[in-house]
Amino acid sequence: MLSETKLNVLKQISEDLSRDEAIWASGYLAGIAGVTSLIAALPPQQLNNSTQNAVKKITLAYGTETGNSKKLATALAGIVKKKGLQVKLADLSQYKPKDLAKEEFFFIVISTQGEGEPPALAKKFYDYIHENEIDLSGLKYGVLALGDSSYPLFCQTGEDVDLRFEILGAQRIIPIRKCDIDYEQEASHWIEHVVETVNKNADQSSKNAATPKVSTGRKKYQGKVSAIINLNDITSEKETYHIEIETEEALAYQPGAALGIIPFNSKSVVDEIITLTGIDSQKQIQTAKVTASVEELLHKHLNISYLLKSVVAQYAKITGHSIPEVRLSLLDLLRIYPVKNADEFEEIIQIVTAQAPRLYSISSSLEAHGDTEIHITVAKSEFFIDHQKHNGLCSGFLSEFKEGEEVEFYIQDAGHFKLPEADKDIIMIGPGTGIAPFRSFLWERDATGAEGRNWLFFGDRNFVSDFLYQAELQDFLKTGSLTHLDLAFSRDTNEKVYVQHRLEQKAQEVFYWLEGGASVYVCGAKEPMARDVEQTLLTIIQNEGKRSKEDAVNYLEEMELDGRYAKDVY
């Protein structure tokens, strides 16, 4: 770079410089050289950041059966390029899911086939993300779902992928958009939104880039159950548990976040499996994710309670039994179609998928309850097989906790489901356990003295036995933290009344709040509650706002894009 003579002069001068003089001299030289050479003098870390700022790169992946998603994704990639972003087009049938961890911006166009199933060629990708606990905390994503609203499970695959990415820790930077058969216009709005959001995000990440975040996977917390209370009256057919967990370590979460937990299988089921197969319970076995004794694998790590159809099919192949396409528990499978011996069962252990975490909306607030206590609200789920009652694995597991028992969990960020600024009004619609995040919202707003108004729509079966958190809600009403409370108890009257009916009755006021900038949150059962509530909101916007059906849809979509309409439904 420098001639030998100049280099010698520079060396001679620098030898005699004090530290401060050297710093001054470097600034002096930089000043002479101007900005361009300053960039050259930046450490590689900063240089990369500046370059990154100029090149924003996204991956646009598609999953297709009949070609619509591919055609669309290809056209959308062209638009992205024209807007100045780099784009990699990827077919999900070819895409290695392990590469997800290397992506920053990942967008998916995917259709739904069969009865709410992924396109055949995207199934491998779909199964992989659902069966593996990959850490996607560094990924920002969005989903464009293609479907046909004449099918009962409209855009189910897109929804599944969207939710699964969230569960795996990825950050949804734009809400899912579900398109019917005439998808072109919807899709072009979606891609505009993608470009706009990526530009905003890239600016933000280059601002934050000075302190690169090293991903260390999900942070696990150890806690002890400090209280467990059935919120339903003894006369109720339901059991909903308010569970408080104490930790030694300080917790960090926002209202709207969820607690993730991996349930354990019952010891008696594990013992029965061991007896049936004759396997040595203490034998150490290495699976794709963990090495542990057979007993520990079955108790803590594997999904044995409800095998996927694909696992049952593999089981049939290994054992040579002819088994119909079904989902059932490993114990039932072993009872009906036994393995030949312990060695064959070892092969079966290798095909059983890892236990999936379950999420529960956090119902406490750091501001109100401190940072070493966290609450959840768990409905004990039940289902019937041959008229025999069974309980869901995790909700059953949690409902049997005793005070003092230890529990490991992690926090799933609130994402889009979070409180607006303190002075903004909110409408919360949360029947059943949908109340959980709203209890957190209310405690938070109460503790921080937020001035925005809070309106809650709550419902369940019976007023007397199923009014969850009744005393607290009435206190919040008295103190004014809860400004409006509307209740719908479906089984108290001859005609069933649900939250959407209460919304309908308050249509004028609801619309007035929306026009005034209120945010609307819906939490609880996806079907039919969230669908019916959305339909009611659209009708309100249409009737009260004197808008066409299409304009009402756009109105709600705009709210969603602005973060003023958020759903946490399951």
Ligand X SMILES: Cc1cc2nc3c(=O)[nH]c(=O)nc-3n(C[C@H](O)[C@H](O)[C@H](O)COP(=O)(O)O)c2cc1C
Ligand Y SMILES: Cc1cc2nc3c(=O)[nH]c(=O)nc-3n(C[C@H](O)[C@H](O)[C@H](O)COP(=O)(O)OP(=O)(O)OC[C@H]3O[C@@H](n4cnc5c(N)ncnc54)[C@H](O)[C@@H]3O)c2cc1C
* Contact residues: ligand Y, CB under 6 A: 258, 263, 305-306, 328-329, 358-361, 377-379, 381, 383, 385, 392-396, 433, 436, 568, 570
Q: Tell whether residue 121 is a contact of ligand X (CB under 6 A).
A: no
Cβ-proximal residue to ligand Y, closest one: 392
> Beta-carbon neighbour count of residue 171 at 10 Å?
17
Token pair 């079907």 is found at 527
Residues 154-173 that bind ligand X (CB under 6 A): 154-156
- CB-nearer residue toward ligand X: 153 or 292: 153
| Shortest Cβ 567–ligand X spacing (Å) | 18
Q: Tell whether residue 111 is a contact of ligand X (CB under 6 A).
A: yes
Strands (E), 345-451: 358-361, 373-379, 382-385, 388-391, 406-412, 426-429
Residue 18 vs residues 10, 28, 31, 325, 456: alpha-carbon distances, Å: 14, 15, 20, 79, 68
- CB-nearer residue toward ligand X: 108 or 442: 108
Among 77, 85, 129, 146, the residue binding ligand X under the rule CB under 6 A is 146
Among 66, 86, 341, 448, the residue binding ligand X under the rule CB under 6 A is 66
- CB-nearer residue toward ligand X: 122 or 251: 122
Q: Tell whether residue 522 is a contact of ligand X (CB under 6 A).
A: no
Query: What distance in Å separates the CA atoms of residue 195 and residue 559, rounded to the nearest whole number?
Result: 19
Among 56, 59, 65, 162, the residue binding ligand X under the rule CB under 6 A is 65
Q: Which string of DSSP letters, residue by residue, matches 194-239? A: HHHHHHHHHHHHHHGGGSPPPP--PPEEEEEEEEEEE-S-TT-S--
Q: SS3 for 360?
A: strand
Single out the segment in contact with ligand X by CB under 6 A; choices: 58-66, 372-380, 387-395, 432-440.
58-66
**Residue count (the chain):** 570
Query: What distance in Å separates the CA atoms of residue 488 and residue 461, rounded to the nearest whole number?
Result: 8
**Bridge partner residues of 8 (DSSP):** none
Residue 317: partners with Cβ closer than 8 Å, 6 or more residues away: none
Single out the segment in contact with ligand X by CB under 6 A; choices: 112-120, 496-504, 519-527, 558-566.
112-120
Among 118, 142, 147, 256, the residue binding ligand X under the rule CB under 6 A is 147
Single out the segment in contact with ligand X by CB under 6 A; choices: 60-68, 89-97, 98-106, 220-228.
60-68
The answer to whether the CB of 499 falls within 8 A of the CB of 459 is yes
Single out the segment in contact with ligand X by CB under 6 A; choices: 4-12, 52-60, 105-113, 249-257.
105-113
- CB-nearer residue toward ligand Y: 62 or 360: 360
Q: In the chain, what is the greatest distance between 2 CA atoms, to the nearest angstrom? A: 100
Q: Tell whether residue 64 is a contact of ligand X (CB under 6 A).
A: yes
Q: Tell whether residue 115 is a contact of ligand X (CB under 6 A).
A: yes
Query: What distance in Å separates the CA atoms of residue 100 and residue 556, rounded to the nearest whole number?
Result: 31
Q: Tell whether residue 89 is a contact of ligand X (CB under 6 A).
A: no
| Shortest Cβ 310–ligand X spacing (Å) | 19
The answer to whether the CB of 81 falls within 8 A of the CB of 87 is yes
- CB-nearer residue toward ligand Y: 159 or 534: 159
What is the torsional sign of CA 456, 374, 137, 299?
negative
- CB-nearer residue toward ligand X: 283 or 309: 309
Single out the segment in contact with ligand X by CB under 6 A; choices: 64-72, 74-82, 232-240, 513-521.
64-72
Among 77, 106, 108, 113, the residue binding ligand X under the rule CB under 6 A is 113
Q: Tell whether residue 282 is a contact of ligand X (CB under 6 A).
A: no
The answer to whether the CB of 437 falls within 8 A of the CB of 253 is no
| Shortest Cβ 181–ligand X spacing (Å) | 6
Among 53, 57, 97, 114, the residue binding ligand X under the rule CB under 6 A is 114
| Shortest Cβ 317–ligand Y spacing (Å) | 21
| Shortest Cβ 239–ligand Y spacing (Å) | 10
Reading the block at residue 1, the tokens are 């770079």
Please name the residue ranges forming H helices in 278-326.
Answer: 294-296, 309-319
Query: What distance in Å separates the CA atoms of residue 406 and residue 82, rounded to the nearest whole number?
Result: 55
Please name the residue ranges forming H helices in 94-155.
Answer: 123-131
- CB-nearer residue toward ligand Y: 198 or 359: 359
- CB-nearer residue toward ligand Y: 279 or 359: 359
What is the torsional sign of CA 194, 196, 197, 201?
positive
Q: Tell whether residue 60 is a contact of ligand X (CB under 6 A).
A: no
Query: What distance in Å separates the CA atoms of residue 100 and residue 470, rounded to the nearest whole number?
Result: 45
Partner whose binding site includes residue 113, from ligand Y, ligand X, none (CB under 5 to 8 Å by kind): ligand X
Element (H, E) at 174: none
| Shortest Cβ 362–ligand Y spacing (Å) | 8
> Beta-carbon neighbour count of residue 350 at 10 Å?
12
- CB-nearer residue toward ligand X: 65 or 425: 65
- How remote is the C-alpha of 186 from its chain's centroid? 24
Gyration radius from the chain CA atoms: 28
Token pair 């979509």 is found at 557
| Shortest Cβ 519–ligand Y spacing (Å) | 18
Q: SS3 for 468?
A: coil
- CB-nearer residue toward ligand Y: 58 or 331: 331
Partner whose binding site includes residue 423, from ligand Y, ligand X, none (CB under 5 to 8 Å by kind): none
Q: Tell whether residue 68 is a contact of ligand X (CB under 6 A).
A: yes
Q: Which residues bind ligand X (CB under 6 A)?
A: 64-69, 111-116, 119, 146-148, 151, 153-156
